[in-house]
Amino acid sequence: MRITNKSVYFNYLGQLENIQSSKYKEEIRLTTGKRITGIEEEPERLNEIKILQSRIAKNTNYINILEETLSEMRVASENMDFISDTLKRLRQTAIDALSISASTSPQTFASQIKDLLNDIIGQANKDYNGKTLFSGTATTPQTLVAIPPDDLVANNDLPFELIEEVPPSDPINNPSGLRVIFKGNNNDRLINKDQYTEEITNVKSEELFGSGYEPQLFQYIIKIYNIIKFKSDGSLRTETDQITTAEINQVDTLQKTLLDHDQKISNTIALFGAKYNRLDSLVNQLLNDNIRLQEINSIKSDTDIARTTIELRKNETALQYSLQVGARIMQTSLFDFLR
């Protein structure tokens, strides 16, 4: 049998390479904290980990969408509360204006009502991150109706605008010439709350102010304003002009209509709050689901630090021993084998 040093070296170098490779993998596991260091290791486990990570990523995406939506809904809810409170104050102002014992002039009451009307319009035009809240899917100036369907000229790029016609087109029924126009739409804004279902997240103009190009709520307020500020012939009411019984009955009917409308707004706020709570609960469910998935993913993908440390020490010991053995082998010649 022919004996050569090369056959011994090959076997030794192969074993040395295996030890070094094993030691390198354990070092990678300790450094990264991951159990699998390459796609060739445990392909079935690696596939399970990828599925878990995909589910976690999807849940995180839905959580981000829902949390942003909830932030917007909180702003919308606060604005609706303000609108409801302002409408109550406006009703009370109208009632006070009808009081025989009122010392304030009708013109002052009319100015207060107009100011409150502007406050409601201001809240109706509120936005969140540059997108208006109550104008359907027309949330930016570019998506609003550019040209109203009549001869009125819009002066701003907001969904609700108070316009004053001078001279008024109807000096008897609308002597102030005031009109509130709506340039948005009443479409639903939808989000994907999971991979199967959608959710409507907006409150539409018709739910708060009534339908149409000129929402009814603003028409009622302007009618009250006109009765208090102007006489029945359309002329401006003076300090000594008394509000007639017929006008008092008209304002009383209109303020009761505002009361009904305010109740409708309160119902809308309540339903919106219930939707908010439902989405908030869904966020908590997704967060808990992610915690559970991350725990499972950690079990499958994270390295066992104690085991890996022991394996690394074993490989280091084996490597040192192999190098010592290799040093002796390298010095051995053919004559040493023959002895």
- Could you give the CA distance from residue 62 to residue 52 in angstroms, rounded to a whole number? 16
Q: How high is the mean pLDDT of the chain?
A: 82
| Interatomic CA distance for residues 247 and 265, integer angstroms | 27
CB atoms within 10 A of CB 233: 8
**Range from 28-32, 121-125, 205-209 carrying the lowest mean pLDDT:** 28-32
pTM, entire model: 0.77
Q: Which two tokens stand for residue 51?
A: 């599925």
Smallest Cα–Cα separation from 44: which of 307, 301, 305? 301
The residues with which 127 forms a beta bridge, in sequence order, are 132
Every domain of the chain and the residues it spans: 53-294, 305-339
- Give φ, ψ of 156 to 5 degrees: -145, 175
Whether the per-residue pLDDT at 235 is higher than 60: the answer is yes
- Give residue-wise pLDDT tens across range 169-192: 888 889 999 999 999 999 999 998
Lookup: tokens for 152? 């009125």
Residues 189, 201 contacting (CB under 8 angstroms): yes
**What is the pLDDT at residue 325?**
62
Cα→Cα distances 220→124, 184, 223, Å: 16, 20, 5
Level-2 CATH architecture, domain 53-294: Up-down Bundle (1.20)
Residues ≥6 apart with Cβ < 8 Å to 287: 63
Beta bridge partners of 128: 131
CA distance 140 to 144: 7
